[in-house]
Chains A and B, each alone.
Chain A
Amino acid sequence: EIVLTQSPGTLSLSPGERATLSCRASQSVDSKFLAWYQQKPGQAPRLLIYGASNRATGIPDRISGSGSGTDFTLSISRLEPEDFAVYYCEQYGSSPWTFGQGTKVEI
């Protein structure tokens, strides 16, 4: 199965700063079949990005995804207070679908 490694484990930033999160796959992910989710304490994950770069409904354009092959990035251009959470990547190009271990973005 494809192993996704997210880095860093924790990102300490301030509101207004830019966040760059990495998701590296152990083998190439077919056709950009990669998604990003945000999870806040006590809540279910929320879809942010699918197809590596497509924003889900209602996601602001300061959140963007990029990458292909084995290297993918989630960027948040200007952190808002509601952006402090844990972020997971998921690959759905090779069964079984797998998730990264998460990156926590904290103040």
Chain B
Amino acid sequence: QVQLQQSGPGLVKPSQTVSLTCTVSGVSISSGSHHWSWIRQHPGKGLEWIGYIYSKGDTYYNPSLKSRVTISLDTSKNQFSLILDSVTAADTALYFCAKGSTWLDPWGQGSLVTVSS
């Protein structure tokens, strides 16, 4: 059974960088044809797909965030990460990791990121 456990800071100052990690259990992130995604949900709002990384390292990002986003793999720890640069209040959201690049299943528990000085 695949499970995803997220970690990362809750509070970030404007213009700084936020880094979130998703630790995967139950499958090797570098094996097979797996994809690993990040999605966010603004408070009280719907969902926004951020991007995904393929098990071989290829990435694809939402064009609206592409200039500020990096998704990477750490195969030694069976983790994948999201880095978002130059954050503003508009990046305050609940961030989720998930398995898949089309339909998403399963999801991590979510990490609330608040951008505030």
- On A, residues with C-beta under 8 Å from B are 33, 35, 37, 44-47, 50-51, 56, 88, 90, 92, 95-102
Contact = CB atoms under 8 A, between A and B. Distances in A.
Nearest to B110: A44
Q: Which 6 A-B pairs have the closest CB atoms?
A: A44-B107, A50-B103, A47-B105, A92-B102, A99-B47, A35-B103
A100 to B, nearest CB: 7
Interface in B83-117: 96, 98, 101-110
Given A33-B102, A44-B110, A88 B47 contact: yes
A68 B109 CA distance: 31
A21 B64 CA distance: 29
Contacts of A44: 96, 98, 106-110
Contacts, number: 54
Nearest to A88: B47
Contacts of B107: 44-46
12 contacts: A35-B104, A44-B96, A46-B105, A47-B103, A56-B103, A88-B46, A88-B47, A90-B47, A92-B103, A97-B102, A99-B48, A101-B45
B43 interface: no
Contacts of B46: 88, 99-102
